[in-house]
Structure 1
Amino acid sequence: MRALGVWITSRLGLLAVSVMAVPWLVGGRDYLSRWKQWDASLFVTIAEYGYRGNPAQARDPGLPAFFPGLPSVLRLVHLVVTDWALCGLLVSLVAGGVAAVALARLAEFEGGSGERAVLAMVLFPTAVFLAAGYSESLFLAFAIPAWLAARRRQWPLAVLLAAGASSVRITGLFLAVALVVEFALSRPRWRELPWLVIPFVPLIAYSWYLRGLTGDWLAWKHAQEAGWGRELVWPWRAWLTTWNSAMGAGDSAVPFRMEIAGAVVAVAVLVWLLATRRWSEFVYCGLQAGALLTSAYYLSVPRALLLWFPLWVLIARLPARWSIGYGLLLGPLMVLNAMRFLTGAWAG
């Protein structure tokens, strides 16, 4: 319950700061509408109109990049809550609470402090995306309990929860592969092996649906390319493109500097996972890093780190004095980045 208290307190704190700051930053505009920025608006479009988008507007080729889990939940919540932005906030609030409790239990299972793990997550600079109507909180609400169940060797529960994660983000594919590795390393009862197919089913089903809609089995991947130019390149080209953008002048360079900082953290975490022989966690994080760091340019690397629950477990095992320094350093950055998001700037 302490972990849930940390989560709720962090949400109340962010609410208080944003309610006070938004009128000053953006004038008298509606507060809730400020939360429907960037991808949050696209999730609402899918929930309201489907993957063909608003018929009154030009078709957005990037919509298939978003998996149907969050839009489906938004549509259900909208049956009782009329404001779409508020729907997104409520889904993230509840799902984030589930994720926080599961993270605390996972950290304690691994010998760390559950409260410090949750604090590390909610104070991370891009944690605003755990509050907004994005898919991070909903994904973690499935993924962290799935991993905890796998660590406890409760495989039927683990794979069913992982299937939920796979319906929310493509990151579910990386989780599914990591579960296979964890299973293989766990002195398994091989009769349980067929269970591991289940997390891949939502991915196949979504590809099948997109095949019927667009004629393309990999429409979700091609939507990433069409909408955001995320084509596969050599990692040094991705680094160079991002570095050159980060060295520019003005506010447009700030997000790219954040991306580089995120990439450095990602590599450091992967080195730690290798050094400690956390093979399955390395697979989960490494596959994500491989996809992000071989894109045409770095995009959403700091935000993707929110999904790296092994990082929060690592911090939870550090001495308390390290956690205090972490909070004092990154907490203010989280607040500043939240204000960037609410003013419409790119925040990770």
Structure 2
Amino acid sequence: MSNTLTAVLGASLQLTHLDPESLGRFSGRTSRNLAPSTSLPLAGRVGEWVVNAVATEHPRSPAAPAVPAEEPAQDFRRPSRPRWLRIALAAAGLWLATRVAYAVFTYVAVALGSPAPKHARALLEAWDQYDTHWYLLISRLDYTQPAMTAFFPLYPTLIGRLAALLGDAQGPVWPAYDGVRLLVALGLASLFTLLALVGVALLAVQESGEERAGPRAVWALLAYPFAFFLAAGYTEGPFLAAAAFTLYFARRGAWPWAVLAALVAGLVRPTAVALVLPLAWEYARQHDWGRGLPLAGWTERLRAVGGGMAVVGAVPLATGAYALFLWHRFGTPLVWFRVQSAVWHRQTTPPWRTALQLGHRLLTYPAWSHDQAMLLLAVVPLLLFLAVVAVSLRTMPFAFVLYTAAICYLAVSAPVASEPELIESTGRFLLAAIPVFLVIGAWMRRRPAFAQLWIASGLMLQGVLLVNFFAGRWVA
């Protein structure tokens, strides 16, 4: 009987997630050494007393039947979410956390700034800098002067349409004012950034096969010192979203969706041309065009060739549609290209000449000067990204190599000689180099110290740059 009750108590303890070994540990002894002792806890003494008492009262009782094993309880939990939804929710959580952080940072930076703000709109106006002015102006007036054509149409058009719905003279709510238009611009940028982070996370998981690769890649991106432009009224968020989903769908072989995302990218920024070669390579690779066209009939051949033309022509088609609009408006389809030099002082230059000029400036600028700092803010990210690509050449998909190389080339292809950094806005343009952030995210998994260094130093530098941005100083 004593053995039977001991088995019963053991089963009961297991049902409550405590085994006799655990009970012994709670009393300071192992289960083998359990003996009557005043040092046992109350639960241990009571259990021991019950066993001894029953054994003494019925020393020769017949053995009780074995206790049947309890069937596992039915699981009433909700079914697990699909993998893509878990990845998207993780990215959305990081997006929401950074939006709250930017809001708090904006309040503190503006409230402690000089002069002190006199109204709440000052928090919004702190984000109304440089390119944002132009997008708001285009959204209100349309393309009325050639200088505006350097800014591609999708983002300002969306701002104008939503602002008309919310606050234009023809809208249903209240008369228009720039604050509403700015709020719409910032809201659109943040929503596109949410899509961008989801796209980057999905791409990272797809390439690595590891679900946690998504949040790491998103962290690598958000900690990049120029990532605050994803929250500003710039096209960094919209373009990053379009580029991320273009690469994601292309690598999956979902070509209609890849074409659609590439069309969107082509309407957002001229740098969408960086997607053309990666798309062509990936389409040819998946269709095994390295060995010709191993298809049986002409119908299949024509379908494959037509699909390839759609994939390669998506970005040029979007840019061409914008050029046709400009031809109708200004009488020349390439006005957007000409104003780059005539208005914005960008001169197309071979990269080796740009490299020589950068080296000369690095050697001649005074140490610790503003010009030197601006130059380093442009050159260091570029060298870092090129180094990441060089180290990862053997493991990075060649389509990603082509895309990142094109982004880096476009960032330096048209320097501004009148600016101290020469390759103006390079740090901001490199936000679109998505494969680099995938690699950095993978390094963060293998090297926790590197992850801490990247996130801590990146966020600190981002705060410094953002304060200068709020003050109206040029940072990228």
Structure 1: which 5+ residue stretches go unaligned? Answer: 54-60
Question: Out of 106, 111, 125, which is 1:23 matched to?
Answer: 111
Contact 1:255 1:346 in 2 (8 A): no
The letter of the residue matching 1:31 is: L
The letter of the residue matching 1:257 is: L
- Paired-residue identity, %: 26
1:312 aligned onto 2:437: yes
TM-score under structure 1 length normalisation? 0.91
Structure 2: which 5+ residue stretches go unaligned? Answer: 1-88, 168-175, 289-299, 416-421
TM-score under structure 2 length normalisation? 0.68
How many residues align? The count is: 341
How far residue 292 of structure 1 moved from its aligned partner, in angstroms, is 2.4
2:283 equivalent in structure 1: 183
User: Could you tell me how far apart the structure 2 residues matched to 1:294 and 1:18 are?
Assistant: 34
User: Could you tell me how far apart the structure 2 residues matched to 1:234 and 1:99 are?
Assistant: 31
Question: Out of 118, 130, 148, which is 1:63 matched to?
Answer: 148
How far residue 250 of structure 1 moved from its aligned partner, in angstroms, is 4.3
1:300 aligned onto 2:416: no
2:40 equivalent in structure 1: none
The letter of the residue matching 1:68 is: P
Contact 2:407 2:432 in 1 (8 A): no
1:282-339 Cα offsets, whole Å, 9 max, x none, are 2212222223223233011110111111111112222430322211221111111111
1:94 equivalent in structure 2: 191
Provide the secondary structure at the position in 2 that maps to 1:96. Answer: helix
Contact 1:263 1:293 in 2 (8 A): no
Contact 1:160 1:199 in 2 (8 A): no
User: Could you tell me how far apart the structure 2 residues matched to 1:62 and 1:240 are?
Assistant: 30
2:253 equivalent in structure 1: 153
Taking a change above 3 Å as real, the CA distance of residues 93 and 277 of structure 1, as seen in their structure-2 partners, is closer
User: Could you tell me how far apart the structure 1 residues matched to 2:204 and 2:187 are?
Assistant: 25
1:165 equivalent in structure 2: 265
Contact 1:14 1:335 in 2 (8 A): no
User: Could you tell me how far apart the structure 2 residues matched to 1:213 and 1:273 are?
Assistant: 46
2:310 equivalent in structure 1: 195
1:323 aligned onto 2:420: no
User: Could you tell me how far apart the structure 2 residues matched to 1:180 and 1:137 are?
Assistant: 24
2:402 equivalent in structure 1: 283
Contact 2:382 2:426 in 1 (8 A): yes
The letter of the residue matching 2:335 is: A
Contact 2:227 2:462 in 1 (8 A): yes
Which protein has greater RCO, CA pairs closer than 8 Å, 6+ apart?
A: 1
How far residue 252 of structure 1 moved from its aligned partner, in angstroms, is 4.5
In our comparison, the structure showing a higher alpha carbon Rg is: 2
Contact 1:243 1:256 in 2 (8 A): no
User: Could you tell me how far apart the structure 1 residues matched to 2:468 and 2:382 are?
Assistant: 20
1:269 aligned onto 2:388: yes
User: Could you tell me how far apart the structure 2 residues matched to 1:325 and 1:256 are?
Assistant: 22
1:106 aligned onto 2:203: yes
User: Could you tell me how far apart the structure 2 residues matched to 1:126 and 1:310 are?
Assistant: 16
User: Could you tell me how far apart the structure 2 residues matched to 1:28 and 1:241 are?
Assistant: 42
User: Could you tell me how far apart the structure 2 residues matched to 1:104 and 1:326 are?
Assistant: 18
Q: Give the superposed CA RMSD.
A: 2.0
Contact 1:116 1:323 in 2 (8 A): no
User: Could you tell me how far apart the structure 2 residues matched to 1:229 and 1:221 are?
Assistant: 11
2:62 equivalent in structure 1: none
The letter of the residue matching 2:104 is: A
User: Could you tell me how far apart the structure 2 residues matched to 1:62 and 1:298 are?
Assistant: 20
1:225 aligned onto 2:341: yes
- Indicate the larger mover: 11-20 or 314-323: 314-323
Contact 1:273 1:279 in 2 (8 A): no
User: Could you tell me how far apart the structure 2 residues matched to 1:183 and 1:230 are?
Assistant: 33
Provide the secondary structure at the position in 1 that maps to 2:126. Answer: helix
